[in-house]
Structure 1
Amino acid sequence: MIFENADACIGCNKCIKTCLQGVFFKPDASVSCTMNMGMAFRIERLLPLAFVASAVTGIGLHIAGHGTSHETWHNWGVAHVVASFIWLLSVMAHVRRHKHWYKTLVSKRVTCKRLITFFLSIAFLIVAVTGILLVAYVEGPGSSIGLWHYKLGILLWVLSLIHALYRK
């Protein structure tokens, strides 16, 4: 079995487990696939931890915005921005690893798993954009963008958990 499309590799190692001849990739594709996947795979391993850190710090930031000191709110805000940035990097690596899935999104039949992943992707983009807007342009924790970011963040959290449960 020769792996015809190195860009479609998701690192699942099924090809290694099933190949009787020991040929996993085309000779010219093996190096590029391994080189491209190494760093992305290491960053992607942070995905669950960064997800939890972003969710916890986001909720902590929201709670701190209701009556605690400005310094406490600021500390939660910094922690949330750092955790969310690490989550963003790990999600980017994850999406890159599954770019073949996104390329075939329209051509394959719609399943519940595909819909959840599609809505998760859209929700993530919106939450990322609103988060960047909050950091770059908006002042004050009670802004309308901040509330949308918080509410969509909770939706993103739920969709991410469903996505993780459906992945097998």
Structure 2
Amino acid sequence: MSRNRFIYLTDLMLVPIFILSFYTGVELHIAGQGDNHEIWHNWAVFHVNASLLFMILGIVHVKSHWGWYKGLKTIGCKGKRKVVLSLSVVFLLVIITGLSLFGIEGANSPMGLLHYQIGILTGVLSVCHIAKRKQFLFKGFAANVLGRKYRRAKA
């Protein structure tokens, strides 16, 4: 698999996994307001699994685009670069707070609430990040997912 295809497929997989991680996090927060621990626990397990996958794909995504981060030294941080850099910092914070919850009782804890709030901010910045790149994701679908046979048949 070519490097470009690997990057594209990683980027593409991040979208549904992000939605799943965000959704399960909100559901987990809602379940934490109730009194049924089993429901909260089920959402917690689902959220942890989805979020670990999201974290791994996010790290691969950042590593794949590391040249962009290096370029910030010379280009500077203007325009949409601010959103991406902000997303990177907030993503790191949501990872740190999320991993710290493994060591404490997370339900209704101050750290759990902080993680939830940072998660909401991560969600907003992620939607902005994805929206700016939707053309790239749609354009590359036929070439990178459906493959050469689809391109030849279409031509």
Distance between the aligned counterparts of 2:106 and 2:125, measured in 1? 27
State the 1:39 CA deviation. Answer: 5.2
RMSD: 1.8
1:122 aligns with 2:93: no
Distance between the aligned counterparts of 2:87 and 2:44, measured in 1? 24
Q: What secondary structure, in the 3-state scheme, does the structure 1 residue paired with 2:60 have?
A: helix
Distance between the aligned counterparts of 2:98 and 2:77, measured in 1? 30
Aligned to 1:161: 127
Q: What secondary structure, in the 3-state scheme, does the structure 2 residue paired with 1:67 have?
A: coil
State the 1:41 CA deviation. Answer: 4.7
Seq. identity, %: 40
Which has the larger Rg? 1
When normalised by structure 2's length, the TM-score is 0.79
State the 1:155 CA deviation. Answer: 0.4
Shift of the 166–84 alpha-carbon distance from structure 1 to 2, 3 Å rule, reads same
1:47 aligns with 2:14: yes
Aligned to 1:98: 65
1:77 aligns with 2:44: yes
- Structure 1: 5+ residue stretches without partners: 1-32
Bigger share in helix: 2
Aligned to 1:29: none
Runs of 4+ in 1 over 2 A off after TM superposition: 36-45
Which range moved further: 141-150 or 38-47?
A: 38-47
8 Å CA contact 1:120, 1:156 repeated in 2:
yes
- Structure 2: 5+ residue stretches without partners: 136-155
Distance between the aligned counterparts of 2:77 and 2:34, measured in 1? 46
Distance between the aligned counterparts of 2:53 and 2:77, measured in 1? 31
Length, aligned pairs only: 134
State the 1:140 CA deviation. Answer: 3.6
Which range moved further: 42-51 or 114-123?
A: 42-51
Aligned to 1:147: 113
Distance between the aligned counterparts of 1:112 and 1:42, measured in 2? 26
When normalised by structure 1's length, the TM-score is 0.73
